[in-house]
């Protein structure tokens, strides 16, 4: 049986490991806001928007990354626009967008001829197929996301917990709402090749939820969630290699295991 050092001698495994670490940091980092703002349904809508974008890219013969990101951003902006212009709840608006984009994706799939293996690989992810271009894209989005979020962290936290007070204090709530929606859309889209459309929401939510079980401060929340994400990504990747299982589901199951371990902490009196 190959040792860990033997595994790391393979270029594809080196790229996969780098991808697992970056996504393990990126998804939980922004996933904290998804959990705090109760936006899990939104991330699911965006992941399915990305799949529709990938199908559209296959139909038009354009790059999947471009088509998925473009459509995801459009849907995110559409949801933010409707949330601002109507009195409907966010869940209702996201449900409308979610239903519409799934229907559109299915229609587009119907126009495609033949079996598209590359298209369906995005359902559960294929971290071993990550190339240098994918790594550069993930790194760029990770760096941009973390820099923007940390720069405007106070504003993001205020609109999350004290929206009305943020308006009174002169914070442009609309701008930061749109910015948060766009960031989540980008994070979800670039993570698809790693864990897949079906499981990407899990990597956003589970490490952040596990960290919330233990953290006593906001700094601790962000640090623990990223640590849990990296542990899940690396352990799941290596485990999937030895167990001959799909990497995406294995990473998520490790993450769920960590979540249940954090629940063993005695309840606060």
Q: Around Cβ 126, how many Cβ atoms within 10 Å? A: 18
Tell me the Ramachandran region of residue 244: left when phi exceeds 0, alpha when psi lies from -120 to 50, beta otherwise: left
Residue 224 lies in a domain: yes
Query: In the structure, what pLDDT confidence band is assigned to residue 41 with cuts at 50, 70 and 90?
Result: confident
Q: What is the pTM of this model?
A: 0.84
Measured between alpha carbons, how far apart are the two ends of the chain, in Å?
48
Q: Is residue 134 part of a domain?
A: yes
Q: What would the two tokens of residue 172 be?
A: 């442009």
Q: Which residue has the tokens 């626009």?
A: 81
CATH of the domain at 66: 1.10.3470.10
**Residue span of the structural domain in which 182 resides:** 4-262
Is a pLDDT exceeding 60 seen at residue 1? no
Domain count, the chain: 1
pLDDT, average across residues 154-167: 85
What is the per-residue pLDDT across 47-56, written as a single tens digit (0 to 9) for each? 888 888 888 8
Residue 244 lies in a domain: yes
Q: Do 29 and 143 touch, CB atoms closer than 8 A?
A: no
Tell me the pLDDT tens digit for each residue of 60-110. 888 777 888 888 888 888 888 888 788 877 788 888 888 888 888 888 877
Rounded Cα–Cα distance for residues 170 and 180 (Å): 18
CB contact at 8 A, 167 and 176:
no
Cα–Cα distance, 220 to 262 (Å, whole number): 14
């Amino acid at each position: 049986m190959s040792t860990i050092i033997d595994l790391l001698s393979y270029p594809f495994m080196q790229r996969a490991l780098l991808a697992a670490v970056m996504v393990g940091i990126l998804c939980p980092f922004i996933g904290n806001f998804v959990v705090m703002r109760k936006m899990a349904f939104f991330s699911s809508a965006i992941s399915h928007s990305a799949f529709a974008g990938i199908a559209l890219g296959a139909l038009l013969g354009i790059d999947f990354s471009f088509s998925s990101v473009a459509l995801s951003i459009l849907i995110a902006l559409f949801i933010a626009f409707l949330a601002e212009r109507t009195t409907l709840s966010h869940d209702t608006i996201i449900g409308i967008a979610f239903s519409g984009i799934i229907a559109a994706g299915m229609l587009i799939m119907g126009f495609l001829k033949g079996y598209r293996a590359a298209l369906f690989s995005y359902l559960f992810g294929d971290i071993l197929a990550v190339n240098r271009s994918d790594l550069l894209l993930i790194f760029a989005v990770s760096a941009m996301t973390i820099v923007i979020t940390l720069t405007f962290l106070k504003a993001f936290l205020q609109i999350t917990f004290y929206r009305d007070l943020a308006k009174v204090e002169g914070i442009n709530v609309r701008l930061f709402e749109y910015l948060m929606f766009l960031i989540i859309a980008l994070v979800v889209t670039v993570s698809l090749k790693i864990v897949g459309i079906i499981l990407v929401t899990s990597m956003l939510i589970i490490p952040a939820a596990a960290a919330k079980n233990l953290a006593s401060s906001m700094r601790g929340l962000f640090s623990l969630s990223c640590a849990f994400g990296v542990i899940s990504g690396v352990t799941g990747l290596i485990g999937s290699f030895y167990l001959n299982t799909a990497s995406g589901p294995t990473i998520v199951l490790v993450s769920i295991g960590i979540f249940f371990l954090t629940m063993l902490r005695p309840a606060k009196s």
